[in-house]
Structure 1
Amino acid sequence: MKLVSSRRQITKNSRVLAYKFLLGVSSLALIGSAGVLSATDPAYAQVNFEDAISQKVDTDQPMLLEARELQYDFDNDVVSAEGAVEIYFDDYTLQANKVVYDRKSGRFKAFGDVRMTEPDGNLIQAQSLDLSDDFKDGFIKVLQIDTPQFTRLMAESAERKDDNLTTLTDGVYTVYTTSAKPALWRVKAAKVIHDQNEQVIYFEKPSLEFLGSSILTVPYFEIADPSVKRKSGFLTPNFIYKSRVGYGTTIPYYWALDPHYDLLTTLTPLTSQGALLTATWRQEVEGGEYSLTLGGINQFQPEKFEGSSGDKDFRFIVNTEGGIDLTDRWTAGWNLTYATDRAFRDDYGFADFGAAEEKSEIYLRGQSETNRFEAALYAFQISQEDNPDPFDPANPTPPFSPVDDDLQSKQPVVHPVIDHSVIFGQSILGGELAYTSNITSLTRDKTDAFSINNEDRFRGVEGTFTRASADLSWKRSFIDPFGQVFTPFAYAKTNLYFLASADKNVTALTGDAVAFTGMPAVGLEYSYPILVGFDGGHQIFQPTAQIIARPNEQRIGELPNEDAQSMVFDASTLFEWDKFSGFDRNEGGTRANLGLQYRLQFDRGAFASALFGRSIQLAGENSYAVPDILDATGDSGLQNDLSDYVTSLYFDTNTGVRLGANARFDEHDFSVQRAEINTSGRYGPVSAALGYAFLAEREDAGVDEQRQEMVGSTNISLSDTWRMFGSMRFDLVNGNVVQDMLGIGYDDEGLSLSVSYAEDRSRNNGEPVEQIFYFRVGLRTIGDTSVSTGR
């Protein structure tokens, strides 16, 4: 090393020259976007560089520098690095063609292709920067800031003041994508001010530009710093038009009160009905979280809802939802809703009422690998309006008529329903032992009755009904040397009913205050899977037979039926030991279930599977032929000793095309009684789904004509970003479109927009067709807004 013209110079041609500056409190900071290098050791100017390296100074924040040339001008007290300069300090990096630190003026400067990376991932690019060594003031030219959230700020110049405010002149805010495609939108403003303390970006005289053209200019607006997850402020509004409420716009304000709780309030002025106010409070608590939502309006023109329960001045809704993890296996929670009327959620469906729905519940759940417990309380506030034409017993209208029109009073309060199931870990007689129990207790204010062909049916009975059920089952499988599978099984079901307060005057219910039923059963299932291989795959033929011996079901029609009202006999239930859907009915008599299963499997993943079979009542009374108080089994396909035939088919090409179908055929003439076909697939840019449903006449259920419908939907990718979509539901019997929708959308990493138009004729109540127009646009980091119209 030599002294040249009072300047001490160290030069290397290689970029690998690296020195650690142990400069005491030296540091590197950013202007939201830029940085400064500061040397504050007073001894620095009086020693040569090699001595500085060996000095014992504070090394808490060491700095690593790489450059082709490093110079120290002791006369002017200037340190400069030139030629592919790279500085690494405390998780910051700085790259530039030249870096100069002037100790006299306390200024730090970087020139030429300046690139700086912050610890949080922000990348700052500039032509040059000039900062004070106290980091409070600075200036930068031709600035671009890219954040990890894929947002970008650009400006001709930027100035930093008070270690907080960064002001960009002629600034542009936009997003960028991983595909490097330019964003279709940007916000251009005379000034963009980033307040790091408030974590807010302010725009003065901003203009929203789309495809290079300005589409909206406002005096001022602000957004939260993109790195901020929660920030108080106004959110993007939505716009509404509905014939009954008029025009309106939501004005949402978000209150980030604490890291563990927040509040969202929304005021929605409506030209026809006044102002709808909603508020949602959310809070995290130890082990869980909860929310409380309120919504209310004092209607200006309630007569617009004439004919429904919404015809009143003041209407409101309240919902609370929450859940708490009591342990790693136990959870308690609730979802409770109350509204002044049943139509409130539908009439103001554009508003967010939290998790509000017709069912309210409080629950306790526990689960392990072999044990499951759930207890719940339920209440229902239905949205369906009462029949506008009350039933006249003197002039019934076959085939289906309500006995009483007060639908809400027929809804039960369940207090409680408790389910418990256990699969015992230790085998019993070499097999699996399982236990299931259920307790159901409910109260109904009014009997839920209706008439079909002048015969009364009952969904539920006035008063209080309680049932305790306990089921125990066992099964074991054996495989013989030929591959045949034998599975013996047995079960016992018991029901204890408490009927003291149930209304027995309107039904054929037993007069007993307490009733008991039991159903023991033994059975055997046999299957013989036959594997046939071929070049490229294999086939499996599997005949299956099942026989179950039981006594007759007891007291059919004398007891309530609350949870076994759904009766669907198809291929999925063919081999169920008991095909009833709940505990209130138990299948009785000796029955055989027979079927043939087939699977075609290709080595490349495609496969097809099918099942065909039927059920036969061999001895005893057929439970499905004897009606209970609801008579849900009359047209089930099981009401005769020889059941209808059931079949299913599933096909998967492993290339995106799938088809599934199931059907039930009459036992006598093989006519279709029920059928469902669903298929979906994708070919090139087109993806589509199509469904078909058929239900034959069910006179016993009040359906005097067959029903056939098709539902289809499609999505066509016009390009990487543009798509068209649509759907239709068509009534094949009446030859009319029930619902239809058509739309177009655009989606990329910075912009999402869609426009759709839909029609709904499904109400069948004489009202005009509901026409729904919906437009949505979302600018990433700015927000989403929508415009919707409806009835």
Structure 2
Amino acid sequence: MKLRLLKSACAAVALSMPLTLAAQSVAGQSAASQQAVPATQNAVLVADSLKVEGRNVLIARGNVEVFHQGRRLRASEITYNRKEDRLNITGPITLEDEDGVVILAGSAELDSRFENGLMLGARMVLDQRVQLAANELNRIGGRYTQLYKVAATSCRVCETGRPPLWQIRAKRTTHDNEAKQLYFDQAQVRILDVPVLWLPRLRLPDPTLKRATGFLMPSLRQNSQLGLGVRVPYFIRMGDHRDLTLTPFVSANTRTLEWRYRQAFHNGGLTFEGAVSDDDIKAGTRGYVFGNGRFDLARGFKLDLQIEAVTDDAYLLDYGFSSKDRLRSEVAVSRVTQDEFIATRLTAHQSLREGDINSQLPTTVANGLYERRFRPAGIGGVVTLSAAAAAYHRYSSDDIVGRDVARTNVSAHWQRDWTLPLGLRATHVFGVRGDAFHLAQDSTSPRQQGQLTPEAQLVLRWPFQKTTANGVTHLLEPVAMLGWAGGSNDNIPNEDSTRSEFDEGNLLSLSRFTGESRRERGGQSAIGLRWVRQGAQWGSDLTLGRVYRDAAEADFSATSGLSGKVSDVLIAGQLRNAQGFTLGARTLLDAGLSANKAEARVAWQRKDFGLMASYVWLGRDPGEDRADVISEWVLDGSYRFARHWTGATRWRYDVAGDKLAEARLGVNYRNECVDLNLSLSRRFTSSTNVDASTSVDFTVNLTGFSTGKTDSSYTRSCRN
């Protein structure tokens, strides 16, 4: 191999050496102003001046930089001895590699490949987050780096003599660059330079490692039912595509093991989580399991899996795992293309609501749907054909309350749009539906029933648009609908159409029932008006509407807004701006201008704060199993009131009952090396299944060793 020294544009000397160094002396130009040289198999040296002593020694001085196989070394002076294949380096020294590891030192003695040697007064920085300061650093084989008398931290260290917020002191630390691990011998954890924990051995991943087996940060929780307990998660890496996290939770009143399993496949992935408990709240073993997965199948099909199960109604709330009161387990296969939709699913329900009897609910449901669209050239428009089937099974064998239902539905519809004079848009729909029902364990209804429903609909829209001089666009669109549907609902039990909502999404629909057990019959019409404003700063949307029918639909509930011949007046609107503010509201007003239902939601999201408030009012309605008025406020907010401090709160207030239902206060401290969370929550409501409870949670996360992006806005700055 050859060493080529370019001392000027016209002079060159070649020497035989084990490692080829192309060394360039650049007069009048610092190394900092030169472009980085790409990594090659040879090393490239750049310096202000070069000197050769004999045939074995090369001396480079002034802004010295060496590039070799992805590594970059910068120093004040380098002396290379060919015979010993050794570099003597004078600092300040900076050694960087392609893995994001940076080593700073005062002086060093290394081999020509920077893989072995000694560095004094060294500091190693990993991924610009974790730094390890040591008196001495040894590089071994290019893979291991050993540091002696080490202080490690991810906190910002300033030249003021103040200790970092936390640090790990160790007699020796070894960094395995291949395994991405840090091994500490005789480790001592210090907070503000006060020792709080001593460990003979400690292993931590470096920040570039995404997954590694080991303990995660513990957390404390105080609960009025469970007592004071500690969670200690342990992460188990089971290869590149799966892992398991076990989290024991031990307190005075419970022994709980929480777990989470994840696995990735070439065509999808799945996640399962759950817990098993033996506590003093309820006799016997308690637990839950939640899981979901999604997979790509052949020919564009998707497989979706979901599992939700719990041993008793109160377990999820007692431990704060979830606030769900109805669980669903499901397997589904579907495919969606431009003109075709296929979906099949099998679902099992479990209700946790007080008063619900699962054996009398349709807890097992199977359904399938096929829909296809065609665009016939002869008549124009779009023809839609669909076929559906469903089955509802109850485990009870009692008459009526244990009713089982199976149904099939087929339909064909033709839709076409026109643009008429003066910009009037018209859409017509003609179609027919056929339904067949089979009933068991219901003496009040025939076992076999069928019906045929012809349908016709005409929708008219007349949009007017205007753009003002300041760029604001207004759209005013009156709409009207005329429709008719034949047939009758007969004596078919209502399985899937017991909860109907009247909103801007179904104002122009022929049927506003949510399922197939009921359809709106006879003639009807609807009128509405929509106004949209869109500007650079503000946008708004307002919809008004009402429905008229030949006859009232008895299966609509009293508060649905659809129970009479004339519906309630629908008023719905949204307001939003470019600063992250949104306001949405919807209400139904009857003839006396009284509201049957009303809801509103306001949200404002900015860089340093977020606010969400919602209000809902629902009138009494036995048809929807609501014996009392529901009136409730919910407030969620967070505010970053200082660079490192953020407060959060959640309040749920029962206006009808004039009492708090839920309250939570939390505070978070975060900087570049620590994340502290403290929260106090109280659930005031109780029932035969769940008691009121209070919880205090405290978590500490020493950031820097975890993967992912960091938010530089939390990084502290040093003061001179």
Q: TM over 0.5, yes or no?
A: yes
Which of residues 96, 100, 110 is equivalent to 1:131? 110
Instruction: Report matched runs for 1:444-459 at 5 Å.
Output: 444-446=394-396
Which residue in the other structure is 1:248 paired with?
Answer: 229
Report the equivalent of 1:755. 678
Q: Does the Cα contact within 8 Å between 2:432 and 2:455 map onto a contact in 1?
A: yes
From 425, 447, 451, give the equivalent of 1:517. Answer: 451
Are the aligned partners of 1:149 and 1:226 in contact in 2 as well (CA < 8 Å)?
A: no
- Does the 8 Å CA contact 1:108/1:132 hold for their aligned counterparts? yes
Map Cα deviations across residues 565-591 of structure 1 (whole Å, 9 max, x no partner): 211123332122211111111111100
User: Separation in 2 of the partners of 1:125 and 1:171?
Assistant: 14
Aligned equivalent of 1:284: 264
* SS of 2:330 mapped into structure 1: strand
Deviations for 1:239-282, whole angstroms, at most 9, x for unmatched residues? 33434444433343333232233333333344334x43355444
1:180 Cα deviation (Å)? 13
SS at match of 2:359: helix
If asked which structure has higher relative contact order (CA below 8 Å, sep 6+), I would say: 2
Q: Deviations over 1:577-634 (max 9, x none)?
A: 21111111111110001111122333x24122211121000x3x43x22x4xxxx534
Tell me which of 299, 310, 333 is aligned to 1:364: 333
Residue 421 of structure 1 is aligned with which of 371, 374, 377? 371
For the Cα contact (< 8 Å) 2:223–2:694, is it kept in 1? no
- The answer to whether the aligner puts 1:100 opposite 2:79 as a matched pair is yes
Question: Which residue is equivalent to 1:716?
Answer: 639
Q: Measure how far apart 1:350 and its partner are.
A: 5.6
> Which residue does 2:412 correspond to in 1?
472
CA distance in 2, matches of 1:440, 1:23: 84
1:334-733 maps to which residues of 2 (within 5 A)? 334-349=305-320, 358-384=327-353, 387=355, 407-414=357-364, 416-426=366-376, 429-446=379-396, 461-499=401-439, 502-505=440-443, 508-509=444-445, 511=446, 513-536=447-470, 537-555=472-490, 558-602=491-535, 604-617=536-549, 619=550, 621-622=551-552, 624-625=553-554, 627=555, 633-667=557-591, 669-681=592-604, 686-698=609-621, 700-701=623-624, 703-733=626-656
TM-aligned CA deviation for residue 446 of structure 1: 2.2
- State the percentage of identical aligned residues: 22
Deviation at 1:333, TM superposition (A): 3.6
CA distance in 2, matches of 1:684, 1:69: 51
Deviates most, 722-731 or 245-254: 245-254
| Larger displacement relative to structure 2 (174-183 or 413-422) | 174-183
For this pair of structures, how many residues does the alignment match? 685
Q: Secondary structure at 1:219's aligned position in 2? A: strand
CA contact (8 A) 1:26 1:61 kept: no
- Measure how far apart 1:665 and its partner are: 0.5
Name the counterpart of 1:160.
139
Label 1:19 to 1:731 Cα distance change in 2 as closer, same or farther (>3 A).
farther
Q: Which 5+ residue runs of structure 2 have no aligned equivalent?
A: 24-38, 708-720
Q: Deviations over 1:18-61 (max 9, x none)?
A: 9999978639xxxxxxxxx999xxxxxxxxxxxxxxxxxxx982
CA distance in 1, matches of 2:123, 2:12: 30
Q: 1:324 aligns with which of 269, 285, 295?
A: 295
Contact 2:339/2:374, CA 8 A, preserved across alignment: yes
Which residue number corresponds to residue 194 of structure 2? 214
Q: CA deviation at 1:545?
A: 0.7
Q: Deviations over 1:176-199 (max 9, x none)?
A: 689999975433334322234654
Aligned mates of 1:724, 1:708 — CA distance in 2: 27
2:230 and 2:378 map into 1 onto residues whose CA distance is: 66
For 1:113-124, what aligned pairs fall within 5 Å after superposition? Answer: 113-124=92-103
- Contact 2:220–2:697, Cα closer than 8 Å, also in 1: no
Q: Which amino acid aligns with 1:323?
A: R
Match for residue 170 of structure 2 among 189, 197, 217: 189
Query: 2:532 & 2:159 partners in 1: Cα distance?
Result: 48
The answer as to whether partners of 1:149 and 1:227 remain within 8 angstroms in 2 is no
Match of 2:130 in 1: 151
Q: Which residue of 2 aligns with 1:32?
A: none
Kept in 1, the 8 Å contact 2:484–2:510? The answer is no
Cα distance, 1:107–1:582 mapped onto 2, change above 3 Å: same
Match of residue 28 from structure 2:
none
How far apart are residue 664 of structure 1 and its match?
0.5
Question: Hey, what's the Cα distance between the residues in 2 that align with 1:546 and 1:26?
Answer: 85
With over 3 angstroms needed to count, the CA separation of the structure-2 counterparts of 1:335 and 1:768, relative to structure 1, is closer
Distance in 2 of aligned mates of 1:516 and 1:562: 16
The 8 Å contact of residues 158 and 169 in structure 1, kept in 2 or not, is answered as yes
Aligned to 1:46: none
CA contact (8 A) 2:139 2:146 kept: yes
Aligned residue number for residue 63 of structure 1: 43
1:192 is matched by which residue type in structure 2? T
The answer to whether the Cα contact below 8 Å between 2:679 and 2:697 also exists between their aligned partners in 1 is: yes
Q: Which moved more, 1:682-691 or 1:375-384?
A: 682-691
2: CA distance between counterparts of 1:23 and 1:199?
A: 37
Question: What whole-Å deviation, never above 9, does each CA across 1:652-679 have from its counterpart, x for those lacking one?
Answer: 1322222111110012x11122111211
Does the 8 A contact of 2:325 with 2:351 survive in 1?
no
Shift of 1:323: 3.1
TM-score using structure 1 length: 0.78
**8 A contact 2:217–2:701 mirrored in 1:** no
Taking the aligned partners of 2:306 and 2:14, their CA distance within structure 1 comes to: 61
Tell me how far 1:641 sits from its aligned partner: 1.0
Secondary structure of 1:596's counterpart equals: strand
